[in-house]
Structure 1
C-alpha cells in the first residue's frame, strides 16, 4: 500500500497538529513505522539538496528515495547513523537511568550513544557505558532496534549486566545517573522527581521490559 507524506507547511488550515512522540503510542505498530520513516525521509530531503562530492544541486529521483547529481552522476541515498542504547542492571536488578545535558528537567533514560567507525555495535555499547557513566559491563545481549529520525539514526538496543554499581558521570554528555528499583521509579515519578522516556520510544520499551507487568497501568496513573 502506498503512503504519501505532506510537509506541515502544506497541511490544510484547521488540521490538528501534534509532535510525532505524542502520537506514536496511539498508532498501530505498522503505522508508527510509516510515520517514523516519513519524518526521517523529510529530514533527509530538506538537508541534502546538494551533491556531497562536487557540491552541485542534486535532483530528487521520481521515487523520492534518492538524489542524482546531474553534474558528476553520483547517486545519494539517505544516511542512517547506527546508535546504541543500553538497558543496564546491577546484581540487585536495579535499572540504570541517566540524564543527558540537553534533556528536559528530570527526564532520565537508559544511556545511549553513536557507533564509531571500525567498531561493532556491542563494542560501542560497552565503550559508551564506560565513557558516559563509568560503569563496566559483564554481560551483553541484543534486544531489538528502532528507526529514529532525529535526525536519522538506527537505534540498536542491548541488555547489559554491570560488573559493579559504581557510577562516575562524564559531566559533559551525561550530567546525572543513578540506580533505580521498581519502587523507586514509581515513587520518583509520582512526586515529580523523575520523568520517564516518552511512550513509543525504544527507551520507554527498555524501561518497560525491565519493569515488567503493570508498567502501562503505572504510567497511565502517573
Structure 2
C-alpha cells in the first residue's frame, strides 16, 4: 500500500467510524494527510524481517482545536483507524498505540503537526559485551528528531549526547516533582540510539510500567 492508498483508506475508516459513533463530527483533511504520512515514514524493521508501524502519535494543535480533540470517543476512533490501516498495509502492531494531544498557539486553526515514533521498550538482560561508550559525544551518532513528552504536554527535544534528568536546577531536563530525585536519570546517545540509565533514584525509573535500570529508546 503506497502513501496515497494509505491516506485514502485511513480517511474512509475515520469517516465510517465517525458516522456510527460521532455523527456530525469530522476530521480535517490535513490531519489525515499528515497522520498517513507519519505512519508511512516512521515504520521500523524488526529483527524477524517484518515491519512495525509506529505506536506513539503526538498531535500538536492550536489550543482551540486541541480542546475539541480531547474527546475519548474521537481518539478511540482515530486509534482504531490507525491500527486497521496499518494492519491492512502489512505493518505489525507490536503494542497498543497511544495518542497525545498538545496545544501550541503557534499552530494555526485547522492545521497540526503530527509526529510518530516507537514506544520505549526495556532492554533484555543478555551475556553480550557492554555497550561501547567511547564515542558518546560523536555528533554523527546522535538520533535525529528525537524528543521526550514531559508531563503529557511539553516537548523536550533531545539534542545533546548526554542529558541529565532530575529536580536539581543544573540538570538539562529539570522536573519539579517530589517523586523525582535530585539526580534521577541520565540519557546517553550510544551508537545512534538514546539509552536511559537510572541513577540510583529513590522512586526508580519506570518504562511502560516496568522498573528498569537501563532502557534503550528504539527509533
TM-score (norm 1): 0.23
User: Which protein has the larger Cα radius of gyration, Structure 1 or Structure 2?
Assistant: 1
Higher normalized contact order (CA 8 Å, seq sep 6+, divided by chain length): 1
TM-score (norm 2): 0.23
